[in-house]
Amino acid sequence: MSIPATLLELAPRVKSVCVMTGAGVSAESGVPTFRGTDGLWKKFKPEELASVEAFLRNPEIVWEWYSYRRKLMENVRPNSAHLAMAELETLVPDFLLVTQNVDGLHREAGSADPVELHGNIRRNHCQSCGEDPGSEFKLEDGHVPKCPSCGGLLRPSVVWFGELLPMDEFGRAERAAKRCELFVLAGTSGVVWPAASLPFTAKTGGAYILEINPEETELSRYADGIIRSRATEGVPSLLSAFKQLR
Ligand code: OAD
């Protein structure tokens, strides 16, 4: 694995960086990805588990699925890719970490104020009034928790298929993509929109697009440089290059 020469030329003077991550970055922490041979969407149907319609039809099943995923994520810890991204943030004057992951691992690794485009699986909100009553509410004896304010159904605070992204958070991500000089795509298949629009926004603004992924993706052909490796190799190498060259 090597750092593209064009990126090495850019690294000493880059002042603005935006990094967008996906499930591949948490894979080595033990969080399953969605696509690929062992991906969650190979075993489960998103239309039955990750949409408002599915939730209103059968909230218990949807809660069971999220309880299962919360359990999977209970003991996971940030890996060297999350940590390297948090350190990279301290080296660049203007830096934004944008993630599609709902596991909260970037925050835990020390990223200051990451954009969580698809929400956070540890939080809840009310499907009716939108209130966030806290993370302690869970499925108890098969009963879906109710909102203490309005009695509506509580749900995990993740973005489901067919739902809009949180507009203020997406706005932060879009502005960062527009103004950055380097846009890094790490561990994402790049097939879910509107998240996948961000590298195009960055490219239109003149940014260098770097992909870090062991496999080719839908977005590879638009990348200016590629590190074909796992995130725990590629991101620490990128960090080392920045540390040496700045
Ligand atoms: P995917 O599961 O679609 O893609 C995971 C990507 O990670 C693939 O491109 C893999 O090649 C790559 N990968 C696997 N192991 C890796 C490693 N160790 N290091 C680096 N890369 C690795 O996950 P996302 O792109 O995050 O949405 O999926 C996007 C969205 O689709 C998710 O946020 C979720 C899902 O439906 C919602 O829940 C709304």
141-191: pLDDT as tens digits: 999 999 999 999 999 999 999 999 999 999 999 999 999 999 999 999 999
Question: Are 16 and 58 contained in the same domain?
Answer: no
Q: What is d(CA 168, CA 149) in angstroms, rounded to the nearest whole number?
A: 25
pLDDT band at 47 (very low <50, low <70, confident <90, very high): confident
Predicted confidence at residue 213, as pLDDT, reads 98
CATH number of the domain where residue 87 is located: 3.40.50.1220
Of the residues 47, 188, 237, which should be mutated to test ligand 1's pocket, given the most ligand atoms within 8 Å of the CB? 188
Question: Are 185 and 236 contained in the same domain?
Answer: yes
Write out the catalytic residue numbers. Answer: 118
Ligand 1 shell residues, CB under 6 Å: 22-24, 27-28, 33-36, 39, 50, 100, 118, 159, 187-189, 192, 213-215, 217, 230-231
Question: Are 91 and 169 contained in the same domain?
Answer: yes
Domain around 97: 5-31+77-118+165-245
CATH number of the domain where residue 133 is located: 3.30.1600.10
Q: Among 40-49, 92-101, 221-230, which stretch is predicted with the lowest mean pLDDT? A: 40-49
> For 87-106, what is the mean pLDDT?
98
How high is the mean pLDDT of the chain? 96
Of the residues 19, 43, 100, which should be mutated to test ligand 1's pocket, given the most ligand atoms within 8 Å of the CB? 100
Residues pairing with 185 in the sheet? 20, 211
Q: What is d(CA 136, CA 121) in angstroms, rounded to the nearest whole number?
A: 12
The CA-to-CA distance between both ends of the chain, in Å, stands at 21
Residue found by looking up tokens 């960062």 in the block = 176
**What ligand 1 atom has the least distance to the C-alpha of 100?**
33
Least Cα distance to 223 among 205, 209, 203 occurs for 209
Question: Are 192 and 130 contained in the same domain?
Answer: no
Question: Are 152 and 208 contained in the same domain?
Answer: no
Predicted confidence at residue 38, as pLDDT, reads 87
pLDDT band at 246 (very low <50, low <70, confident <90, very high): confident
Split into its structural domains, the chain has a count of 2
Ligand 1 midpoint to CA 187 (Å): 6
pTM passes above 0.95? yes
